[in-house]
């Protein structure tokens, strides 16, 4: 009953947002926006695409930090799976690309999917951490619109809580024992008890992966990835000949990611443009120019990644077959070697018996 009510509320909310976006879309001079897109600089667009891919590559390296100690030392495999997962995320619902890359790496390496899932959970943990740091940096370093300035204190509080939780998690992982997960679940009561039991269980399952140096490296890579996203926004605006400051790039990126908590439309098309135009207006960027830039950003972030990611997916689907062929070949060679060894031993015994 509760699930159906929640589903109805979600549909009503989505419908209201779509109607609002349609009303907003009627205020746009689409001819002027399209003109800005057509006159965009190909060189700067190529740089924006490259920087966006660099952000994705950095995430692949971040995942590899946790995959390597789990038994998957190939950086190339981590990068290919990350790009394939990102591409599939654009065409599948409920972040299906993340589930797909767990399957991809598990098939390619033979490592249990539960272990790969643990590495992915650790890797994804640093995306919101990096975003909170970006928020604190944005409101401290730049003068942002009042709607974002209000997030300064909550972001600073959240950053402090995250620091404490990460330190506690590292401590728990370092001192965790195999039976702690079951013990914590048995003793859990209430919301805090269940949360603590979950964290203890997660720490116990990832105790060999969670180390201080690895966390520091993952955090630095997260900051680099978010910096690439800021530069993607900046280069896309420059390509469209729209003067967009670094403060405006940071502000629009923060506002859009806050807004993406509610995925109201497929790919957030329309909602992305609305939030971008609303946030860019205080920086002197006209609505039509903002729409042109936001369309460019979504295009260069979605289309190249989707095409390459979907193209890589079949390779991983066939990985298991290839791996089995390799195992069968090795098994065949091993069997032949054993047979030769037995034959040689028999010949040696025969020669010995003849001599005697």
pLDDT of residue 264: 47
Among residues 300, 303, 295, 263, the alpha carbon closest in space to that of 276 is found at 295
Full-model pTM: 0.73
Query: Per-residue b/e over 66-83, b at no fewer than 16 CB within 10 Å?
Result: bbbebebeeeebbbbbbb
Cβ(335)–Cβ(116) below 8 Å: no
Where are the strands (E) in the chain, listed by range? none
User: What's the rounded Cα separation, in Å, for the pair 185 and 200?
Assistant: 9
Answer yes or no: are the C-beta atoms of 346 and 120 closer than 8 Å.
no
* CA–centroid distance for 58 within its chain: 10
The 10 Å Cβ neighbour count of residue 203 is 22
Q: Give me 139's structure tokens.
A: 């409101």
Domain positions in the chain: 2-27+38-321
Cα 79 versus chain centre, distance: 12
Q: Is 68 helix (H, G, I), strand (E, B) or coil?
A: coil
DSSP string, 31-52: HHHHHHHHT--HHHHHHHHHHH
Instruction: With CA atoms as reference, report the closest residue to 100 among 123, 81, 119.
Output: 81
Q: Are 308 and 87 contacting, i.e. CB atoms less than 8 angstroms apart?
A: yes
Q: Which residues contact 316 (CB under 8 A, 6 or more apart)?
A: 80, 81, 84, 100, 103, 104, 107, 108
Q: Is 91 helix (H, G, I), strand (E, B) or coil?
A: coil
CA distances from 131 to 171, 233, 236, 275, 287 (A): 24, 15, 21, 17, 26
Closest CA to 26 of 284, 274, 276: 274
* Cα torsion 297, 303, 305, 306: sign: positive
Tokens at 123, concatenated: 């890797």
- In tens digits, the chain (356 residues) has pLDDT values of 555 665 666 566 556 545 554 554 554 455 555 666 678 898 999 999 999 999 999 999 999 999 998 888 899 999 999 998 888 777 665 567 788 888 888 888 888 887 888 888 889 889 999 999 999 999 889 988 888 888 888 888 988 998 888 887 777 766 666 555 445 444 556 666 666 665 566 666 566 777 888 989 999 999 999 999 999 999 999 998 999 999 999 999 999 888 665 554 444 556 788 889 999 999 999 888 898 898 888 888 888 888 888 787 766 655 544 444 443 443 444 445 444 544 555 565 555 555 55
Half-sphere exposure of 264 (CA within 13 A, CB side): 23
Distance CA 2, CA 290 (A): 40
Q: Measure CA of the first residue to CA of the last residue in the chain; give whole Å.
A: 89
């Amino acid at each position: 009953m509760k699930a159906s009510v929640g589903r109805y509320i979600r549909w009503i909310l989505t419908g209201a947002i779509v109607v609002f976006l349609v009303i907003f879309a009627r205020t746009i001079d689409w001819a002027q926006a399209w003109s800005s897109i057509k006159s965009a600089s190909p060189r700067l667009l190529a740089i924006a695409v490259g920087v966006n891919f660099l952000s994705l590559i950095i995430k692949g390296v971040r995942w590899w930090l946790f995959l390597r100690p789990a038994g998957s030392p190939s950086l190339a495999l981590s990068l290919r799976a990350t790009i394939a997962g990102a591409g599939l995320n654009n065409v599948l619902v409920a972040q299906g690309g993340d589930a797909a890359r767990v399957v991809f790496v598990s098939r390619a390496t033979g490592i249990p999917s539960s272990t790969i899932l643990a590495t992915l959970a650790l890797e994804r943990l640093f995306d919101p951490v990096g975003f909170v740091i970006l928020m604190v940096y944005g409101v401290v370093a730049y003068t942002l619109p009042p709607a974002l300035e209000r997030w300064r204190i909550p972001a600073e509080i959240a950053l402090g809580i995250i620091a404490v939780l990460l330190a506690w998690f590292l401590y728990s992982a370092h001192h965790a024992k195999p039976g702690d997960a079951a013990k914590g679940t048995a003793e859990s009561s209430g919301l805090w008890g269940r949360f603590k039991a979950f964290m203890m269980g997660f720490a116990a399952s990832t105790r060999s992966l969670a180390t201080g140096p690895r966390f520091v490296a993952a955090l630095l890579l997260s900051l680099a990835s978010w910096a690439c996203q800021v530069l993607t926004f900046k280069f896309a605006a420059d390509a469209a000949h729209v003067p967009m400051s670094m403060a405006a790039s940071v502000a629009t990126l923060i506002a859009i990611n806050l807004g993406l908590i509610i995925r109201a439309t497929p790919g957030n098309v329309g909602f992305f443009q609305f939030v971008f135009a609303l946030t860019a207006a205080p920086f002197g960027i006209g609505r039509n120019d903002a729409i042109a830039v936001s369309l460019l950003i979504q295009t260069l972030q979605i289309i190249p990644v989707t095409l390459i990611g979907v193209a890589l997916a079949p390779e991983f689907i066939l990985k298991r077959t290839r791996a089995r062929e390799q195992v069968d070949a090795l098994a065949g060679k091993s069997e032949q070697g054993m047979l030769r060894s037995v034959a040689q031993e028999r010949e040696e015994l025969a020669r010995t018996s003849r001599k005697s």
